[in-house]
Amino acid sequence: GEDVEQSLFLSVREGDSSVINCTYTDSSSTYLYWYKQEPGAGLQLLTYIFSNMDMKQDQRLTVLLNKKDKHLSLRIADTQTGDSAIYFCAEFRGKLQFGAGTQVVVTP
């Protein structure tokens, strides 16, 4: 389809790992991004992965890319209450195309 797709909601217990999934549309997309939006704030770039990579790790964040299935995931290890936010997946194909966002709620 035309859209970048994400599940809309994820609930996770504090200390567990969170996995947010995304499917994108264009196998020729060069960069894929994860943005975080905290309540009342703008989007903050969390991490990105270049299309010739399978995995990127940055502290508690791990990005996995499956180009064959056009599937991108973000894993947050040891999820904290401060990780509660909306997470947007985006692909760059001439311009940024965003998914609808996944609301992550971290419960104690």
Partner 1 sequence: EAQVTQNPRYLITVTGKKLTVTCSQNMNHEYMSWYRQDPGLGLRQIYYSMNVEVTDKGDVPEGYKVSRKEKRNFPLILESPSPNQTSLYFCASSPVEGGMEQYFGPGTRLTVT
Nearest CA-CA partner of 6 in 90, 99, 71, 105: 99
Is-contact 3 22, C-beta < 8 A? no
Q: Does 44 bind partner 1 (CB under 8 A)?
A: yes
Residue 93 buriedness (CB in 10 A; 0-12 / 13-18 / 19+): middle
Minimum distance, C-beta of residue 100 to partner 1, in the bound complex (Å): 4
Q: Is 98 in the site for partner 1 (CB under 8 A)?
A: yes
Kindly tell me which of 12 and 89 has the beta carbon lying closer to partner 1: 89
Residues at the contact surface with partner 1, assessed by CB under 8 A:
4, 8, 31, 35, 40-45, 48, 88, 92, 94-96, 98-101
